[in-house]
Structures are given as C-alpha cells and as structure tokens.
Structure 1
Amino acid sequence: MLTVAALRARWTGLLGPFVALCLGVALMSMTALVLVSAQPRVPDRYAGAEVLVLAPEVQGIPGTFPERRPWSPARTAELTERLTALDGVTAAVPDRSFYAQAVVGGRPIGEPALADPQGHGWSSAALAPYRLVAGSPPVRPDEVVLDRALGFAPGNRVTLLTATGPAEHTVAGTVDGPGFYLADPVAAPLARGVRLIGLVLADGADPATVRSAAEQVVAGNGTVHTGADRAAAEPPRHTRTRWIGMQVLTGMTTLAGFVSIFVVASTFAFGVAQRRREFGLLRTVGATPGQLRRLMYAEALAVGAVGAAVGAVLGSVCAPAFGALLVDAGFQPTGFQVRVELWPPAAAYLVGLVVALLGVWSASRRAGRVRPLEALREAVLDRRPMTRLRWAGAIGSTALGVLLTVLLVGAEPDDIVNYALYAAMALTAGLALFAPVLVPPLTYALTWPLDRLSGATGMLVRRNALTAVRRTASTSAPMLLTVGFAVLIAGFVATTAGAYASRDSAAIRAGSVLVPDGTPGLSDAAVAAVPGTALLPSTVYADPPPGTAPTSPPGTAPTSSVGTAPTVGVTLPAGVARQGGGAGVPVAVAGVEPAGFAQVNGRLRVLSGDFAAFRGPDSAVVTAGLAERLGWSAGGLAVLDLPDGTAGQVRVAAVVDDGSIPAELLLAREVVRAHDPSALTEAVFTPMAATGQDGGADHPALGARLVGVAEYAAERDAAEDRLVRLATLILIAVSAGYTAIALANTLLMATVHRARELLVLLRSGATVRQVLGTVAAESALVVAIGTALGLLVSTVALLAIQSALGEQFGVPVELVVPAPTIGLVVSGCLLLALAASVLPARLILRAGPGAGAGYRVE
C-alpha cells in the first residue's frame, strides 16, 4: 500500500526512468532482432544451384575479410571435368565474373562494388534462379543479355564498360535479375580467377549424395556446400558490412544500457535528496532502513516492469523499419530483412528489469541511511556541498585526465583515440565532482547579463543557484556529459580526417589526379586518356623462400598498411601468402610503373636494397613488415601465386618502410594486368594541374574525372568516412537523447518539488510572467553551465589530439570544432529543459497565490 501511495504521489518524478527504460529496452529489442536476423544468406546469383564447390578459404584477422583463394587454371579445368562426370550432375559451371557496368546517356549507371562484379559468362546464368524473359542467349562476341529492369529490349544497342574500356553491344535478350551475361569465350579473357563451381543437378538427384561424391573429388582443395550452407558463398563485402553493423549496434546497445542505468540512478538519487523529509517522517513512525530500501526497489521494479514491457513491444514493432534504415545507411547488406522472434524482446525485457534494479541500488542505500531528525529539515541550503571523499575523487580524476592528455600528445596514431576517450572520461568525472566549486563563479559570470536586463530576476536566479549548489551541479551534469561527448567525438572524427588528408596531400608530387567518376575504378581506356602514373590494386599469393621459417603462425594475417599510405586511398583486396603450403596470410599488392611511382611518392623510405632496381616484371618492392613475416630480404627471391592462380617468382629489389607505399607489395603494372583482367585502376597521378590541362575537360574519359591533389586526398576515404560519420551520429544521438531525458526529468522533479516556493513568490507580489521567467532563466543557466564545462573538457582533449596528429604526420593540422553539432545538441536540450520546467511551473501557478503552504502536487 505504501508503494502504491508513493507511486501515485511521485509519478511525475518517475517519468524519466520510465522513458529511459522504455527506450533502452526498445533499442535492445530492435538490436537483438537485427543481430538474430543478420546471418549469412545464400547469394541470389547462386540460389539456382543446389550444390556449390568453393575454393579454399583464407583466414583473416578480425576486421579483415579476404576473398577465397582461386584455383589455378589447370586445377579449375580438372575439377570441372571430374565434377561434371559425377552421377546426378548435368553440368559443373565455373563462375567466371568480371567488372561490368552499363552506360546510359554518356555516363555509367548504378553503384557496383569492386568486390561484387556484375559481369558473367552466359553459362553462369544456370546457377541463378533468373529466367530469360525475352530474346535469346548471347552467341556473337558483341551480344549481351542483361536485366530487363534497365529498360533495354532485344535488338537495342548498349555501351558496356569493363576493365578494358567501353564497348558497344547488341542486346540479345533480357533476364529477370541483375547482371550482364556475355558469351563464355568473350567473358573468359575478362574474368578474374575462379573461386566457385556450381553444380546443376538432374531431376531427382539427391544433393546430399552429390555433395559426398564432390567432396571426394575436391579432396581438401576446397569445400562443398548444400542447402543453407551455401551461404558460405556470400561475398566478403557483405560479411564485412554485417560485421561493421554489429560493431555499431553493439556500441549503441551498450551505451543505451549504461546510460539507462545512469538516468535511473541519477533520478532516484535526486528523488532521495528531495524526499529526505518524507523518509525522516517514515523513520519517525517506526520504518526501518530495510523497509525504506525495499520501498525504493518496489518503485523501481514497478516502473521497470511497465517501461520494459512497453519498450519490448515498441522495439518489436519498429524492428523491420529499423532494419531497412540500417540497409540504407550501409550497416547491413542489400536484401537484409528482420525476422521477428519472441526470445529477443523477452530477453530485453529481463535486462530492463535488471537495469532498473541496478539503477536504484545506490539510491536505496542512501534512503536507508536517512535519520528521523531529517523530518524537521525544511531548508535546501547546501552547507557542505564538497565532502572529503568528493574532494579526493575530483582531484584524482582531474589529475588522471591531465596525465592522459599529456601522454596523448606523444601517443602512436592507433593509441590517440583511446587516450583521448580515457582523458575525456577522467576530465568529465573530475569536473562533475568539482561542479559545486565551479558553479558559483560560472553562475556569477553567466547571470551578469540578467542584471542589466532585469535586476530582480538576475538576483533571484543567482541566489537560487548558489543556495542549492548541489542541485544546480546535479542538473547541469547531464549537459556536461552530452556536450563533452558529442563535441569530442565529432571533433575527433573531423580533425582526424582533415589531418590524414593534409598528410596525404603533402606527400603526393602531382599536378592533379585522375579518379573514378560513377565507377568503382578506372578502365584501361580511361588510364590511357591521361598520361601519368597509374596505380592498379589486386591480390597475389606468396610463399616464403625454401628453408625460411615464417615469423607469424600459419593461418594468421598481417596488419594491412592500407589507409596509411600517402599516395593512394584505396581499400585494397587482400591476397594470401602461403607459408609452407599451409593456410596462408592476406597480402595486398599494387601494380605501378616504377619510375613514375618514385616521382609522385613523397614519403618513400628505402630500408634496404635499391628502389631503382625495381623495374620490369621480374622484380618487386615489399614493406618491412611483410618481409619480416615471410622471411624475405632485398636481393632474394619471392615465390608468388598470381591472381589467376598461376605461379611465378620475382626478385625483391628493395624493402621499404611500412606505410610508405600503398600496399604491402609492389609489382610492375603489366604483371598485375596480365594476371587479373578484371582489376580496375585506383588513380592516375598526372603532372598537369586539374585546371589548365589540355582542353580543360572535367571528364577526360568515360567514368573518370580530374581533381586536384587536395581534393583527391579529402575524397580518398569517402566511403569509410561516411560510415564513421554515421556511426558517430548514432552514438551522439543515443547519448544526447538519454541525457536530454535525464535533464528534463531532473528539472521536472525539481520544479514540482519547488511548488511551495513558486507560490510564495507569487504571493509576494511577483507576476506569473516574472515567476515563469525566473524558472526559464534558471533552466537556461543549468544548460549554460553544463555546456561550458563540456566544452572545456572536449576542447582540452581536441587540442591534445591536434598536437599529437601534427607531431605524427609532420604537417599543420587544423582543429575542427563541430559548431553544427554543438548548436544542435545545446538547442535541443535547451528547448526540452524549458518545456520540462516552465510547463509544470505554469500548471502550479494556475492554483493562484491563495493555494497556501499546504499545496501538494498529485
């Protein structure tokens, strides 16, 4: 009965925990449903084949997703012949795929991914469930079958862009699915290495029996899959997309859980401070500390049960739409759909109850320590806002934050973000604990303008803030957390992106750069249109020299240097380095013209050997990290399996510093092109400027454009930067949303608790407008104090980040303070704070001056 009565009397103070738990459980329910549904699926293009034979899998380090290792041409032919001869198999079809893109109106259409080629040989159509809906299969070299959704009809002419360049084709037919299908003899020279062979079965054939027979044929040189196991053929980019999405969702859910606990804990702690007189009265009439603790737990459990139930239902209803948004944002692969099941929302509901109980734990202990004499307490004056324990915590946290900030300046690039976050967390905790000391001077500074506009209002706002210092500090703490976190994360992302662009721009010795325009890379025709130094990324497979023991265990992958090189910004596909015939390690390779590459690369640092010896198809340049792992050295031989599965060897001309070249291995461009017909060029570095070149054309070739070096450096990681920005916005939105709830709920509780005080002001002669103006000014002051402290924390951390990046890269780094983010977060919190304080104050004042001292809010 006491719990029910308390809930009825204090329901306004429990709105914050209710909303926080409701949203937290809804978020956890949606995330759980997405994660349960985010499983590999059979690619549509292979759904028509009941048995798939896949090339050997390559093991990668977490966060890398290399493609399978292709069979050699001889092994592909042998497997195809032997698999075709199996009982129940009508055809064994090697999947020969290549880059292809239609050109409409003089521009490439669609957004193909380099790792998901759309061009295929016609025989591959048997592996897909697509039907030929019009026309006939391609027979002549200039014929193509394509998706009817493109709007072409049999007999139409279409320009098809491949790695060699654009070519005119006649539409022989259309299918009801994506892709461009050429005659097999035409597709074979364009295709990359074969990694999949699909088996077309006769009517009535048993897939399990065929699978057993195929496994004997493959004999460990690949894997055989049927049924749902065919999802193993999913493109690595889809696996990577799902992995990125999982990281974002996990971070978002973890943040929501912790912030939910924070909101519940802060709300109940604030409620205990306001209800000390009530608890003192209960102690006076005989209530024990244990009974008060049980009262708090009962209130939290009641709020948690209702809020978690509403959140679980809300999350289940919104999960499909949430999944669609994740696909649009690039955090889930195309075709992903959410499956609604019972156990994820149920688990989220139980987690919500646990969060509610954890949040009230500290407050319940504080309530149990209330003494009966507290029943006589009337004033809210804080006589000792800083206790010894609080002083110790504030000094310790601030000192730790300063120390981490100093260490941040000399940190390695990979450690900068960790030091920055830890420093900001320590400084935030320190300033939050120091808030009772910082509130008075900030209050005087921020209320000074009010003295000029309205002396009485300014004085009243100032005295209220200084009288209840702890209340002011508690209500401003959510703003400190929100502004500090939002500005730090957004500023770090923007400052880091600008620093990398400045470093890369300074290291490129070129007048302009030819980059893809509407395509995933440059065709050979586009490269030939503008003279310069071309960069062709691909994959290779390498063995350590005989008798040399590799320095990394079999099956492990090296850390790629992609993203740290100064001259390119391509995310290179990973290859495999064989180690004594074992599993293998990923290696990235780039094909370049040696003399031109040395001229445009301003960061090249040779550790051993002679870069000038890198010339022709029989030499290579490797990074120090790769050489150490594989036991290579300058002047030695490196055995390679090339992208099409053929073998060869090159002499190591030079070993260079990690990060000074765009990959771990450099080969002559003609070698990469000869063995990877579908590879596309990442960029061409030209001696001419982007403006003032011959003709001044923005599009010197189909699917290409010339840009300045600075623009190229800024755009080089555009896709990755977009995902980082979206992830940042999601985390900021979750943090700011919960903080806004905490801020609004705290102000609502404080306003309702001050009902008698507001009515006294009204009875003393103040008008309703003056009282509401005072309430609004106090809320704005709380927001301003929190904003000032948050900006102090984030600015200190960002300045240290700027200094660290400048020291590491050796170039001036511009500090980017995200003004739009600050304005959006502060304005949103201010509007919510005003609504949470002014509206309930207006309802209280409607009772009029005669409401008296016994005014009570139900």
Structure 2
Amino acid sequence: MIPMATVRERWASFLGAFVTTAMGVAVITLSALILLSGGPGVPERLAGAPVLVRSPEGARTGGVFAQNPPWSPERAERLRRALVDLPGVAAAVADRSFYAQAAGTRQRAGERQGHSWPSAALASYGLSAGGPPVADDDIVVDRALGHSPGDRITVLTAHGPRRFTVSGTMEGPGYWTTGHRAAELAGGVRAIGLVLEPGTDAGAVAAAARGVVGGAGEVLRGAARDELAPPQDEMTRWIGAQVLTAMTALSAFVTVLVVSSGFAFTVAQRRRDLGLLRTIGATPRQLRRLLYGEALTVGVIGGAAGAPLGALLAPALAGVFVDAGFQPAGFEVRMRPWVLAAAFVLGLLVALAGVWSASRRAAGIAPLEAMREAEVDSRAMTRRRWVTGTVAAALGLACAVGTAFAGPDAMVLLCLGAAMGLTTGLTLLIPALVGPVAGVLTRPLARRPGAVALLVRANMVTAVRRTSATVAPVLATVAFATLITSAVQTTAAADAAGRAAAVRAEAAVVPRGTPGLSDAAAAGVRGTALLSTTVYGGQGASALSAAGVSPGFGRVYGAPAPRARTVVVTRAVAAAHGWRPGRTAALTFEDGRTVRLPVLAVADDSLPYQLFLPRELVRAHDPSALADVVYRTGGPPARPAPVLGAHEVPVAEYAAAADAEDDRLVRIFTLILTAMTSGYTAIAVAATLLAATVDRARDLHTLRLSGATRRQVLLAVAGETVCVVALGAALGVAVATPVLLGMVHGLGTALGVPVALEVAWPWVAAAAGGCLLLGVAAAVLPARAGLRGRALAGR
C-alpha cells in the first residue's frame, strides 16, 4: 500500500502540470475557434445582390488595409453594360460610396456611409417610409436617426456641412442621395452588384459573369461576398488575429516551461524512490517510460478538460473581443469539432515535451540515490543543461542586440525572440545562479541573530532544485510583464516625441466627433492641412497612404512639400518600387484615374505617410478625402463652428493622442497577455510550493522536535518564499533589461530623437507582488496545517 503522505506528495506534484496543461489546451482551443470563424458575413448594404463583381486586388502589405484599386470610369461602365446583358440579370448596379455623417453621430476613420440611390437595390433592406431622392438636395436616411420624410437635416461631407431634405427612411444604416449628387461626392467604382430576375440560378449567372469579366475583376457569390466587408473590419480582425496568435504562442511556451519545471522538481523530490527502483533492477529506459506515462496521463486528462473548456469560453471571449475592438460587430464563433481534437493532441505533445528533460535526468539516477537523506543538491547542473542554457541565453542576447539596429517590424520579432531565449536560458541556468545570487540576497540574514534567518539562508543555498523550480515561473511572469508593458509605454512615448519634433507649428486643429476634417473645417486656418487619401502604384498596384499638402508651405515633417504635379515618397517606398528623384511614378487615385508624376524628393521612413502630393491633385481625384489635421503656423487661434467637428489643441497633445485608438488596443492586448502569463505563474508557483511544503512535512516536524516554535517554523517557510520570489523577480527584470535597452537605441535611431526608457513599474510591482502573496499563502497554509496535524497525531 502506498503511504498517504506519498499520495499527497504525488497529487501536489502533478496538480500544477494538470491545471497548466488544461489551461494551455483551453487557450489553444478558443484561439483556434475564433481565428477560424471567418468574418462577420456579407455587408448588409450589398447582401441583396446574389452575385457581386469587384475590382482586381492590388498587392497586399501586412498590417496595411485598403480597398482594392478602383476601375477607371470607362472600364467600370463597359463592365456594367456587359454584365447587364447577361441572361437572367435584371440590373447591374455600380456601387459608389462617399463620406456622409449626420450631425451628432459618430463614425470610424475611413467609413463611407453615403451611397447613390441606385445602389439601394443591392441592400438586404429597403424603404420604411417616404420615397427615393428626386432632387439633388433630397436624401434617404436610416430610420434609427429618428427623422421623418420632410424633415431638414444637416449632413457633413468632405466639402463641409450640407442641408438636405429627408425624402424617405431606410430599415438599415446609410445615407442615400441621387446618382448625380453621389457622383460629385464619391470616388471610383470598386463593386458592381447583379440583381437577378426571379428564379434565375445565381451559380449560372456567376459563371457567365466570370467569362465576361476575365482578369478585370473577381466574381463573388454566396459566403465569398463577405470579402467586400469594409477595410476597417478587416483591420480589426487582423489585430484580433495578432492577439490570438500571441496568446497561443505564449500559452504553448509557458506551458512547456511550467510543465518541464514541475516535472524536474518532481524528479528531484522522488530521487530516493527512483533510486530504489534502480536498486531492484529497473533500467533507465523503464524510468523514462514511467515519467512519459505520467506525462501522457496528465496530457490526456488536461486535454480532455481543456478542449471542452476552451469551446465553452470561446463565445464569451469573442464577445469581449468585439467590445474591445479586436473583432468587428456581428462576429460569432463557429464550432468545429476537429479543432477540439487537434488542441487535445497538441496538449499531449506539449506535456510530453515538458517531461523530456526530466525523463533524461531520471534515467541518470544511480541506485545509491536511495541511500541519500540530505536535501543538499550536489549536482543540479548537467553538461547538457549547461550547454543548452548557455546557447539559449546567447541567442536571446543576440536578439536583444539586434533590436538596437532593426526596423520597426523586425524589432517586434526580435524582442519576442530575445525574451524567450533569455527566459529559457536563465531558467536552465538557475541552479548554477541560485547559490551565488541567493548568497548575496540573503547576506543580510546572516547578520541577524536567531535560527530563522539561518534556516532561510541554508535552505535556499542547499535545496537548489526546489528553489530553482519555484524561481522559474516567477522569472517568466516578471520578465514578460516588464517587457510587454514597458515596451508599450516606451514605444508610445517615442512615437509621440518623434511626431512632435518633426512639426514646427503653433497648434494643431484636429477632428472632434468626426473621422477627419472637411474643407470647411480647414478653411480660415493659416497652416498646413494634411488631406489623407490612398493611392495605388508601383509593383502590383500596392496601396500607399498619402497626404495632400498645399505647395506654398516649405517643408512638412522635415520633408519638402511637393510642387504642382510632383510627389515626395519615403525611402522604403522608393526602394520597393525603384523610384528616385527625377523618375516618374504612375499612381492610381480614388476615382480610378492614373496619373504619372515625377518624384521630387525621397524622405525619411519615420513620416506618418508614404507619399506627399499636392492638395489640389488629391481633392480633384478623391472627393471624399478628409484632412487628418491642420497644423496652424500663424494667425489667431482657430475657432471653427461646432457643427464642423473640429477643435484646436497643442501640437504635443495631438502627437500623444494621434494613435489613441491604437494605444487603447495595445493596452488591452498588454493586459490580456500579462494577465494570462500571471495566471500560469500563479498555478506554477502555488503548485510547486504546495508540493515542496508537503514534501518537507517531516523536516518541519523535526524542527519542532528540535525546539523551534510553530511561529519560527512558519516564519522560516515564509522568509524562504519571500527570498525565492525576490530572486525570480530580480532575474525577470534582468531578462527584460537588455531587450528594452536595445529597443530604446533602435527607436532613437529610427525616429532621430532621444528616446527614454519608460519602465512600467506599477505593472512590474503588481506581477511580483501577486507572485509573493500567492507563494506565501501556498507555502505557509499547508505548513501550518501539517504542523497542526502532526501535533494532533502526537497526542
């Protein structure tokens, strides 16, 4: 019969591995389900057309989301005429959209809620009251706005506020004007919807349309029509995918780290038992099979619990993501049984990977280990561990150095690689570091009188494996909390400093309640207005962010302002497309027209736009373009009318708030990752200390028999936990420091301004403090219960 104490020790040892594996499988399951659930569906305003034809897709760049390049007006009309002649097609409607916003409502940047009335035939909803617009000052609006036919309404457009008469209301969102008025306010055509005659087969029409369109576009039907969702929704889903991918990668990494650390500690606890097995004839291979069997059991039970848990939590997390802005409105999770099966299998592989190192150590235990009684770990480091830990730490340091010279995109990957490499390396090297570092940390205890300080110092230095197993998860959580939060704060401060330093202006006029500034809002302000648009050019008709500026102003963000019919490009764009001063760049604008412009100059990559164009040229080809900001360079403070949706702020304030939405998403992203890492650490620290305390019950009782009071024993246990957590926190900060310093140097070089390191000390303190509170509770409470049980048994 197995003694009850041994059962408790085994249960405590494997509890952390089981819960960690279950959590890892749950995170992988819910992340995969959300990632594979697709988009929010076909946009309602186009869902009434069974077949849609869209313009050809341009070259895509990671993290850049824009609509496809529009057709030229002539090609769009030729395609529409050819499509309307197909059998079964009742109408072929060119979709035109423009910026329109009723006063008092809100819109996201880039939204185009204005449409021409003919395209209302493509919507899945129709009129609720009144009739279609007839005169150019008529408009049909969403019934939810609360207007009735005959009401007068002010609608903001790119040119300024306009007064319209409500001719009717719709059952869905949008502003619908006559085709003539829409042609004045809208850009080019990117989609043509086919309205079919009753009883017509949509598949046959789609096949015929492909023959007509050829390479001039793409024919969509059924669920494929959701590809016409707004770029803002696509960007939102992309951001959510980055969060989920990071969650999955971090979950797998920490799960392997915690499981391997837990099993290593288990082997250290059970070395006498394993030595007895070796004494009675067990081979190293059998010991490895024993541990792999235990890990497989943990993986099976953890996976079986984690996969259904992830499926249950996925809808709730999807709702949180929608509210936070990581998924578009209307997003729903679609269950896929194969995802649960794949996550279960992955959980098994993670558990087996975590036990690999511990199984090799178990196989090396000699029969004489059964005779050992002392807790002194004389050989905690093996040659393989030395080599692996040193290589991992060296790779991490190399990545940290690389961040000092890498670009913004590579910097993120290098930071992640440096954090993982240094965390893995120091985790493997902890047994070698525990002695000297613990000696330094506990040196003040050596000068304190009494047995408690002596016990704390002796236990930390001699019980290397137990100390290492507890330090590892604390190191991981403090390292990632310090790195993630401090990197976010440092990057945000550096971007704001770079934008502010690049602008020479007295103030900034910025939008208030609108996605941009209309011409009326920018009028009367003496300064530089940045009229934002997207153009398509270079290899593969890449989407490029551009700003139109008035040529009368000398320099913008340190770059020369373009003269009439010229373009200024950034260094990266020039290198990608072979443009240099004097050469000609062919650019397609929002109305579908292609214009060839000579390159005036090449500017720095730190600019917020990829191209600068003459403002008049942008306005002529993009009637819906809005200005992101107007930098006032003289004259009295701007006082635009409230209806224009604009107000004036200091340049530094605008620079800090320019990426307010992105910063909000990053803060939520940071909170999710930090909370998840801390959750793993909480489990690992609690389970390790619980197992260690249960395993030490006999030692603690021996201390009581030697004359120590219960208070002294509990103080020794608590003091040891405090020192272990302090050691882990110190090593965690040490892991993050070189990465952050490299990032600061890289940001300063890229932006050309001094960058200061912003350490998020409250987050660091919260992570370390949480580990401390949980660790003390997990160590002291079982010790207190064990001492009480021993006392009762002694009676």
Q: TM-score, normalised by structure 2?
A: 0.92
Which position in structure 2 is the counterpart of 1:586?
Answer: 543
Comparing 170-179 with 739-748, greater Cα deviation is found at 170-179
User: 2-side partners of 1:346 and 1:430: how far apart?
Assistant: 33
Which position in structure 1 is the counterpart of 2:621?
Answer: 675
- Does residue 1:187 correspond to 2:148, yes or no? no
> Contact 1:101 / 1:112 at 8 angstroms: preserved in 2?
no
Which position in structure 1 is the counterpart of 2:739?
Answer: 797
Q: Which amino acid aligns with 2:663?
A: D
Which position in structure 2 is the counterpart of 1:361?
Answer: 356
Cα deviation for residue 438 of structure 1 reads 4.2
Partner of 1:586, secondary structure, is strand
Residues 685-704 of structure 1 mapped to structure 2, 5 A cutoff:
685-688=631-634, 693-694=636-637, 702-704=644-646
Match of 1:615 among 537, 558, 563: 563
User: 1-side partners of 2:397 and 2:215: how far apart?
Assistant: 57
- Does residue 1:42 correspond to 2:42, yes or no? yes
Cα deviation for residue 172 of structure 1 reads 2.7
Match of 1:509 among 490, 504, 508: 504
- Does residue 1:646 correspond to 2:593, yes or no? yes
Which position in structure 1 is the counterpart of 2:763?
Answer: 821
Question: What do residues 799-844 of structure 1 show as CA deviations (whole Å, max 9, x unaligned)?
Answer: 3332343344342212101012112211222222122212222221
Q: Which amino acid aligns with 2:649?
A: V
Q: 1:237 to 1:412 in 2, by over 3 A?
A: closer
User: 2-side partners of 1:632 and 1:289: how far apart?
Assistant: 66
Match of 2:478 among 483, 501, 512: 483
Q: Which amino acid aligns with 1:750?
A: A
Q: 1:240 to 1:808 in 2, by over 3 A?
A: closer
- Does residue 1:733 correspond to 2:675, yes or no? yes
Partner of 2:542, secondary structure, is coil
> Contact 1:529 / 1:701 at 8 angstroms: preserved in 2?
no
Question: What do residues 436-491 of structure 1 show as CA deviations (whole Å, max 9, x unaligned)?
Answer: 45434544554567689984432322222122133223311221222122212221
Q: 1:266 to 1:390 in 2, by over 3 A?
A: closer
> Contact 1:401 / 1:427 at 8 angstroms: preserved in 2?
yes
Residues 517-556 of structure 1 mapped to structure 2, 5 A cutoff:
517-540=512-535
Cα deviation for residue 708 of structure 1 reads 1.4
Partner of 1:263, secondary structure, is helix
Q: Which amino acid aligns with 2:11?
A: W
| Identical positions, percent | 53
Residues 201-600 of structure 1 mapped to structure 2, 5 A cutoff:
201-385=196-380, 405=400, 408-436=403-431, 438-440=433-435, 442-443=437-438, 446-447=441-442, 455-540=450-535, 575-577=536-538, 583-596=540-553, 598-600=554-556
Residues 32-181 of structure 1 mapped to structure 2, 5 A cutoff:
32-39=32-39, 41-104=41-104, 109-114=105-110, 116-181=111-176
Question: What do residues 229-252 of structure 1 show as CA deviations (whole Å, max 9, x unaligned)?
Answer: 323323333333323322322221
Cα deviation for residue 138 of structure 1 reads 2.5
> Contact 2:446 / 2:457 at 8 angstroms: preserved in 1?
no
User: 2-side partners of 1:276 and 1:261: how far apart?
Assistant: 22
Q: 1:170 to 1:763 in 2, by over 3 A?
A: farther
Which position in structure 2 is the counterpart of 1:777?
Answer: 719
Partner of 1:237, secondary structure, is helix
- Does residue 1:750 correspond to 2:692, yes or no? yes
> Contact 2:21 / 2:255 at 8 angstroms: preserved in 1?
yes
Comparing 177-186 with 95-104, greater Cα deviation is found at 177-186
User: 2-side partners of 1:735 and 1:356: how far apart?
Assistant: 18
Q: 1:449 to 1:533 in 2, by over 3 A?
A: same
Q: 1:830 to 1:188 in 2, by over 3 A?
A: same
> Contact 1:526 / 1:701 at 8 angstroms: preserved in 2?
no
Q: 1:807 to 1:643 in 2, by over 3 A?
A: closer
Cα deviation for residue 88 of structure 1 reads 2.1
Q: Which amino acid aligns with 2:348?
A: L
Comparing 376-385 with 341-350, greater Cα deviation is found at 376-385
Q: 1:834 to 1:245 in 2, by over 3 A?
A: same
Which position in structure 2 is the counterpart of 1:544?
Answer: none
> Contact 2:40 / 2:332 at 8 angstroms: preserved in 1?
no
Q: 1:416 to 1:26 in 2, by over 3 A?
A: closer
User: 2-side partners of 1:698 and 1:851: how far apart?
Assistant: 83
User: 2-side partners of 1:439 and 1:8: how far apart?
Assistant: 28
Which position in structure 2 is the counterpart of 1:830?
Answer: 772
Partner of 2:45, secondary structure, is helix
User: 2-side partners of 1:146 and 1:707: how far apart?
Assistant: 33
Question: What do residues 507-564 of structure 1 show as CA deviations (whole Å, max 9, x unaligned)?
Answer: 1111111112222111111111422111112233xxxxxxxxxxxxxxxxxxxxxxxx
Q: 1:768 to 1:153 in 2, by over 3 A?
A: farther
> Contact 1:518 / 1:703 at 8 angstroms: preserved in 2?
yes
Q: 1:4 to 1:350 in 2, by over 3 A?
A: farther
Cα deviation for residue 736 of structure 1 reads 2.5
> Contact 1:409 / 1:801 at 8 angstroms: preserved in 2?
yes
Q: 1:465 to 1:621 in 2, by over 3 A?
A: closer
Question: What do residues 106-155 of structure 1 show as CA deviations (whole Å, max 9, x unaligned)?
Answer: xxx223331x3111112222111113222322233333222222333334
User: 1-side partners of 2:103 and 2:4: how far apart?
Assistant: 70
Comparing 182-191 with 7-16, greater Cα deviation is found at 7-16
Q: TM-score, normalised by structure 1?
A: 0.86
User: 2-side partners of 1:268 and 1:437: how far apart?
Assistant: 19
User: 1-side partners of 2:148 and 2:519: how far apart?
Assistant: 29
> Contact 1:95 / 1:120 at 8 angstroms: preserved in 2?
yes
Cα deviation for residue 427 of structure 1 reads 4.2
> Contact 1:241 / 1:331 at 8 angstroms: preserved in 2?
yes
Which position in structure 1 is the counterpart of 2:658?
Answer: 716
Partner of 1:847, secondary structure, is helix
RMSD: 3.0
Question: What do residues 757-801 of structure 1 show as CA deviations (whole Å, max 9, x unaligned)?
Answer: 122233334343333232222212211111112122323332333
Count how many residue pairs are aligned between Structure 1 and Structure 2.
795
Question: What do residues 388-416 of structure 1 show as CA deviations (whole Å, max 9, x unaligned)?
Answer: 66556666665665565555545555544
> Contact 1:29 / 1:315 at 8 angstroms: preserved in 2?
yes
Comparing 162-171 with 718-727, greater Cα deviation is found at 718-727
User: 1-side partners of 2:468 and 2:580: how far apart?
Assistant: 63
Comparing 21-30 with 804-813, greater Cα deviation is found at 804-813
Cα deviation for residue 645 of structure 1 reads 1.8
Cα deviation for residue 62 of structure 1 reads 3.7
Q: Which amino acid aligns with 2:700?
A: L
Comparing 673-682 with 728-737, greater Cα deviation is found at 728-737
> Contact 1:763 / 1:849 at 8 angstroms: preserved in 2?
no
Question: What do residues 182-219 of structure 1 show as CA deviations (whole Å, max 9, x unaligned)?
Answer: 22222221111111111111211222232233334334
Cα deviation for residue 290 of structure 1 reads 3.2
> Contact 1:699 / 1:706 at 8 angstroms: preserved in 2?
no
> Contact 1:700 / 1:706 at 8 angstroms: preserved in 2?
no
User: 2-side partners of 1:757 and 1:2: how far apart?
Assistant: 20
User: 2-side partners of 1:825 and 1:185: how far apart?
Assistant: 61
Question: What do residues 23-74 of structure 1 show as CA deviations (whole Å, max 9, x unaligned)?
Answer: 1111111112112212573222211111112112213234434421212222
Q: 1:595 to 1:154 in 2, by over 3 A?
A: same
Partner of 1:595, secondary structure, is coil
